[in-house]
Copies of this chain bind each other. A is one copy, B any other.
Amino acid sequence: MMKGTEASCDMRLLYSFFNIHKNLVRLAKETAANNGLTMPQFSVLMMIAPHKKMTQKILGERMFMPKSTLSQAVESLVKAGFIRRRPVEGNRRELELILSDEGEAFFNDLLSQEDGVAKCFSRACHALSEQQYRQLLEAHEVLAEVLKKQGEIKSC
C-alpha cells in the first residue's frame, strides 16, 4: 500500500505502462501487417491459439472486443482456414472456435519470426534478471485482478 507517495506518483506508473503499450502495439501491428492480418484478426488468433479452442462469447469477454468486430475477425480467420467453427453442444446460440492445424502452424510461425512482436519482446526480456521477471509477473497479476473489477463492465 502506497503511503507517502500519492496519486501523482501513480501517474508515473500509468505513463510507464503506456510507454510499453505503445511499443508493443507498434510491434504487434507490424507483425500483423507483415502477415496479412488486421489487428483484431491478430489479437483473436493470439488469444485462441494457446487454448486451442474457445467459445466466441468467452473470447469477446476476455478481449473486451465489440462483438461486431469479433464476428468479422472470426469470419476472416475461418475463411483463411486458421480456425473452425461449430455450435456448442447443448446451446446452439454459442459458437465454439477451434484452432486448425494450419492455424497452429501459422501461430508458431508468427512466434518464431525474428522481427515479430514475440521475439522482439523476448529479446527485451533478456535485459531483466530472473528475479525482476518473477516480480513483474506477480505485480501484474495483482494489478490485473483489481483493474478488471474497475469500470462499468458493460457487455461489449
Contacts and interface: CB of A to CB of B under 8 A. Distances in A.
B146 A124 contact: yes
Given A1-B129, A10-B122, A150-B123, A23 B144 contact: yes
B143 A139 contact: no
Interface in A98-156: 111, 115, 117-130, 132-133, 135-148, 150-152
Given A5-B133, A142-B128, A21 B19 contact: no
Contacts of A136: 13, 16, 135-136, 139
A145 to B, nearest CB: 7
Question: Of residues A3, A119, A128, which shows the largest number of chain B Cβ atoms within 10 Å of its Cβ?
Answer: A128
Interface in A27-76: 27, 30, 46, 50, 62-64
B124 A147 contact: yes
How many subunits of this chain does the assembly comprise? Answer: 2
A17 B57 CA distance: 22
A30 B146 contact: no
Contact of A128 (B25, B123, B139): B139
A151 B16 contact: no
17 contacts: A3-B130, A5-B133, A10-B122, A10-B125, A11-B50, A13-B137, A16-B141, A17-B24, A17-B140, A19-B144, A20-B140, A22-B62, A26-B151, A30-B151, A124-B150, A125-B143, A128-B142
